[in-house]
A and B are shown apart, each in its own frame.
Chain A
Amino acid sequence: MKRFVWLVPVLYILFVLLPIYWLLNMSFKNTNEILGSFTLWPRVFTLENYRKIFTDPTWYGGYLNSLAYVLMNTVLSVTVALPAAYAFSRYRFLGDKHLFFWLLTNRMAPPA
């Protein structure tokens, strides 16, 4: 039984890769092939979909917005979080446990 233990992670990794493969597969197909036929790999290999995303501003604009948002967010949260993390890990102070849990509750508020 010990000899076949490696099968467990291998099977799991196959399961993990399957949807990713299908997504990649579809990204290289043209619309006709996706809708018209069922093929395990692209018969007509095309980069047209990628060309569209990188040249059409309505598509790549979203990426730029995300990038700007992430940059601001990171700078802000790291500046305020670093000293706090230092304090929590090095010192004990009045109400530290309660405060920590309160900060954690903000992760629990439903995003909706």
Chain B
Amino acid sequence: MKTPNQKAWWLVVPVVLLVAFNALIPLMTVINYSVQETFGENVFFFEGVKWFQAVLHSERFHNSLQRQLLFTGIILAIEVPLGVAIALAMPRRGPWVSVCLVLVAMPLLIPWNVVGAMWNLLALPDIGLLGRTLNAVGIDYNYTRQPFAAWATLIAMDVWHWTSLVVLLAYAGLSAIPDAYYQAAKIDGASSGAVFRYIQLPKMKRVLTIAVLLRFMDSFMIYTEPIVLTGGGPGNATTLLSIDLVKVALGQFDLGPAAAMSLIYFLIVLLLSWIFYTVMTKDEAE
């Protein structure tokens, strides 16, 4: 049980100061940019909510937001069930446990841009193993030219990189279940489906919420992997929100719209994450 102690604030103060310095100053700069217009030479004019209106009404923002939601939806729908299934099938004891865990955890240790480069090499139609094989069996596959192939590669890459996280979290949740639960289920003659539904799933609920939250946040902000793999192309087919933002901010140097866009982006992530977080803590309180 936690003891109420107001002096604990002193322990938190250093991190609060550091994060405030690192987070609030850039945030204020962005807010500043988002309401002003500049013609260079550090001369700024107050513009109010003009940029916000422009961004919210722009076709381009809608399109990349839709692509982003589609991407996040697809990878969550694949990674979470797949991760749980693999975690259920993994050995619970014996010499293979650590071998399995180490091999499964491998993709998590690889930096994002290396993952992008790796899949690039794997999927290239002329020299990559995957691209070459697909073309050899008669599937016309070229992710630099076909939007569908680019999407498929992007999703395969994300599934490859992050399903392991769900596996590890679900596995940790599973191994926390005492054997007595299984024995009781056996005595009652419960089917394996019932064991999953009434013992394993409820016990995994908390770690799964965390897994979904982490995967949601990270996939919503994904930048490095698609930029290395496809650069947002072909055309704009895989231009997700963060790629679009960088194009506006650094490519065109439109600081006002870019700042407004990043604030809207941040608010979307914050809102959705907050919903997850409250659902999570509500369950805890019950």
Contacts and interface: CB of A to CB of B under 8 A. Distances in A.
Interface of B is mostly: helix
A94 B5 CA distance: 9
Interface string B247-275: 00100000000000010011001100110
A91 B2 contact: yes
B223 A112 contact: yes
Interface string A60-95: 000000000000000010011101101111111110
A53 to B, nearest CB: 14
Contacts of A76: 18
Interface string B1-40: 0111111110110111011001100010000000000000
Contacts, number: 145
B265 A79 contact: no
Given A9-B89, A87-B11, 15 more contacts: A6-B89, A6-B91, A8-B89, A12-B167, A15-B160, A16-B104, A26-B121, A35-B127, A80-B18, A86-B11, A92-B5, A108-B266, A109-B266, A110-B220, A112-B221
Interface of B: 2-9, 11-12, 14-16, 18-19, 22-23, 27, 85-86, 89-91, 100, 103-104, 106-107, 110, 118-119, 121-122, 127-130, 132, 160, 163-164, 167, 217, 220-221, 223, 241-243, 245-246, 249, 262, 265-266, 269-270, 273-274, 277, 281
Interface of A: 5-9, 12-13, 15-20, 22-23, 26, 34-35, 38, 40, 76, 79-81, 83-84, 86-94, 96-97, 99, 101, 103-112
